[in-house]
Structure 1
């Protein structure tokens, strides 16, 4: 790509555009990261929360950048420097062109909502793979489908990296990609330039209000995915479909916010796709699925009504692409779970230990209600709230734990720069101290719950799920809830062996 091609893409003023229209200098690479600038490259200066690329333009030029995009004037020379109204948008436009518009060649599934995004994208991937449509994935747990997996830094990567990952998938022979689309990612334009075929809405409950400030703004961010879907009807363009949870009041609003085809789903007697006759048993979840006047029995190994909604969302998203219902249902039946989402951790005792990402009032309530449907004895719930964000939801989290668990235990969960005790104080404000236990150290809280649990009890460790760290102050420290459970039982087994050896030693020498 040449500088003149870059200039044509961007919203430049007329004199600048005319000056560059004949510049045939080759642009051989593109990046917003000064560490990745190469000779002949284009550098786009992005102002982030902790780093402003504008302060490093001369550094990028020194490394060989021949074309630089900025959002305001900078004191630098030695390359073509152009100013645009929005460098983030410019980066998206350039990335799409530079990497060959890979999303136009893939089936793209975008999933948004407060809860369920990770599970739904994994279900879509499993269904498509079962139907011989090789599918990559971009989301909270990882980016897979290219030559090698990438760690996920954000639920939704930025516009540049999205094009990198999609290009890798295309080159690796993938035919589709299922992608988690966060509200923050939408509001920051991270999915600009992605040609989604299907947009899925799971639900909307309180979350991320530290960023969006109001619930209305949170909804408007989610709505962007549907408003930007299928706004043109050019001949030959891929058909666009919105798959929407009609039981959610915000889902019903979204139906009016898209020009795409709409398929709705629910469990309350309305929707194009419905689940009825729901039964939860020891072997999983059973229900009847109705679509286009036909009824199918469904069995999920996944537990809980929230997973019925997740399954309906994935069913709808793949059904509209022509995959047969029986193929979808067989694929759903084989899914045993997603890491950190109602993940049952094997133990040597008759205690059921579950690690789940539930970090919102609605998510915690759903998980505890599911546990209540099969619990035989006491339910322990280890839960905390993150620091430096969303203090308003803290009392609701604690109240739900006290209402639905027999033994709620409040602890730390990524306190960041806040005092964990201050966070817990806000959680338990107004609650009877006799109804809960508080242990600010998360490891101690987990050990306490496991040590108190007896046969047929259930221990839920909520809030972190797949995360393998704790953020304390400004330091990220390794911490994995599943590893803590495994370490507890390993230490307990080692202690038992040590005691047995001690008894045998004294008995021999009595």
Structure 2
């Protein structure tokens, strides 16, 4: 793309430190100097750990033609042209959108502490069954029909994000449902995305290792509605979710249209939620029309997530009468309140990604109506993350479980034993089993008919992070393997 096309009409010559032929081709862009190729733009972004400005020299040696940086950055000799911006992260997002140009015409974006993956997956499924070419993007990666692509982050960095959007457009995707994390919003990754419908699930404690406090965390989430959502877009607010009032006020102040979901007095109402042993029943009402829904998905909280997904589809123009087929065919996302297997004793074993106090409480409370015996919880907490939530999760487990086994999650660079100790201070009656496989095995061994086992924290993940290494580990495969051992009589110790 020519430089004058990339910069657009809003740019003036004085933003460039040195003159450059505006017809010169910019062949690519990156914020990683190791990925710079001749003719690229390099974005020297400030960071909490690494400052991109330190790598400008490397980028120039690799052939960078244009450098994007903050006004205060000093440059080594040999830099051809510098584009200065007070917010280079946001500018990178806008330039990436301009460079890659194409994206699915309708984009649904979901944010909140819990439920993002479920809501985006449900939107994708509903639209697909309604005959649209749909895709989803988030913690589980990118999925568009048979096309799947793993992601390192829930919401990718701007250059990768817009490259994916272009590829989805080329695949003929009409609608994309994407998760938007608080990190992405704080770092302006999605500011170039034309979001047509934005949805809010809820907000509770999480990521305070990154955000200064809960207020900055909430402010980051609210940006999706007050700044990123296109002016004529629709904000869909789950009023049943914590902190929804704040988000609704911020959205209203920004002049965006609001579509609400609640049990009463809302655009879409959710009523008659009834847990069954094999799923849920509930009723949705919209503009005088009523739809009774029966789904095999477990967990009362999933009724809220389904309702939010439905509301976002309605806000995006899907007729209410086209919902039934998709709702009847809904399947839970991988690792989200997912019943993986039943043991030979008739113990239902669930895996859930719950890794915050609120998510763990929600998961346990959702399973309680389905449980005829004991509710057994196996979980741990990640290292190098918000340490303050460890004791809170221990208290939640102690209050809502009958038996608890504390084990390792992803300890990363922390002492795993100390993490377990911090959790157990709030649930001293819990059993401590460091090895996650052995912990799950102990739960299966002790459980009886009618009990439910919840293995929480890792959900869909297929690896365990210890130090700087990732070791293969899946809660799903571990449960299946152990139940298979029990089935053939090899599950007991000699």
Contact kept? 1:12, 1:84, Cα under 8 Å: no
Aligned to 2:392: 396
- How many Å separate the matches in 2 of 1:8 and 1:270? 46
Contact kept? 1:10, 1:84, Cα under 8 Å: no
Aligned to 2:80: 79
Aligned to 2:285: 290
After superposition, give the CA deviation of every residue in 1:278-298 in whole Å (9 maximum; x if it has no partner): 211123111121111222211
The 10-residue stretch of structure 1 (280-289 or 86-95) with the greater mean CA deviation from structure 2 = 86-95
Question: What are the within-5 Å matches in structure 2 for residues 257-336 of structure 1?
Answer: 257-258=250-251, 259-267=255-263, 269-336=264-331
CA displacement at 1:29 relative to structure 2: 2.1
Question: What are the within-5 Å matches in structure 2 for residues 57-456 of structure 1?
Answer: 57-71=56-70, 72-77=73-78, 79-100=80-101, 102-103=102-103, 106-145=105-144, 148-229=147-228, 232=231, 239-258=232-251, 259-267=255-263, 269-347=264-342, 349=344, 350-429=346-425, 431=427, 433=428, 435-456=429-450
User: 1:335 is paired with a residue of what secondary structure?
Assistant: coil
The 10-residue stretch of structure 1 (279-288 or 35-44) with the greater mean CA deviation from structure 2 = 35-44
- How many Å separate the matches in 1 of 2:152 and 2:492? 43
CA displacement at 1:55 relative to structure 2: 3.3
CA displacement at 1:111 relative to structure 2: 0.2
- How many Å separate the matches in 1 of 2:235 and 2:140? 24
CA displacement at 1:452 relative to structure 2: 1.2
The 10-residue stretch of structure 1 (270-279 or 166-175) with the greater mean CA deviation from structure 2 = 270-279
Q: 1:497 to 1:90 in 2, by over 3 A?
A: closer
Aligned to 1:32: 31
CA displacement at 1:224 relative to structure 2: 0.4
Contact kept? 2:18, 2:80, Cα under 8 Å: no
Aligned to 1:505: none
Contact kept? 2:271, 2:283, Cα under 8 Å: yes
After superposition, give the CA deviation of every residue in 1:269-311 in whole Å (9 maximum; x if it has no partner): 2322111122111231111211112222111221122111101
Contact kept? 1:7, 1:17, Cα under 8 Å: no
After superposition, give the CA deviation of every residue in 1:167-208 in whole Å (9 maximum; x if it has no partner): 001111111110101111101101011110000001111111
User: 2:148 is paired with a residue of what secondary structure?
Assistant: coil
CA displacement at 1:17 relative to structure 2: 7.1
- How many Å separate the matches in 1 of 2:491 and 2:202? 49
Contact kept? 1:344, 1:355, Cα under 8 Å: yes
User: What TM-score, normalized by structure 1, do the two folds share?
Assistant: 0.89
User: 1:109 is paired with a residue of what secondary structure?
Assistant: strand
- How many Å separate the matches in 2 of 1:56 and 1:454? 59
CA displacement at 1:146 relative to structure 2: 9.1
CA displacement at 1:347 relative to structure 2: 3.8
Q: Tell me which of 459, 469, 475 is aligned to 1:475.
A: 469
Contact kept? 2:154, 2:180, Cα under 8 Å: yes
Contact kept? 1:385, 1:394, Cα under 8 Å: yes
Contact kept? 2:341, 2:479, Cα under 8 Å: no
Contact kept? 2:17, 2:82, Cα under 8 Å: no
- How many Å separate the matches in 1 of 2:369 and 2:309? 24
Contact kept? 1:110, 1:196, Cα under 8 Å: yes
User: 1:396 is paired with a residue of what secondary structure?
Assistant: helix
CA displacement at 1:35 relative to structure 2: 3.8
Q: Which structure is larger by alpha-carbon Rg, 1 or 2?
A: 1
Contact kept? 2:196, 2:230, Cα under 8 Å: no
State how many pairs are aligned.
487
Gaps of 5+ in 2: none
- How many Å separate the matches in 2 of 1:303 and 1:198? 27
Aligned to 1:503: none
Q: Which has the higher helix share?
A: 1
Q: 1:330 to 1:78 in 2, by over 3 A?
A: same
Gaps of 5+ in 1: 233-238, 500-510
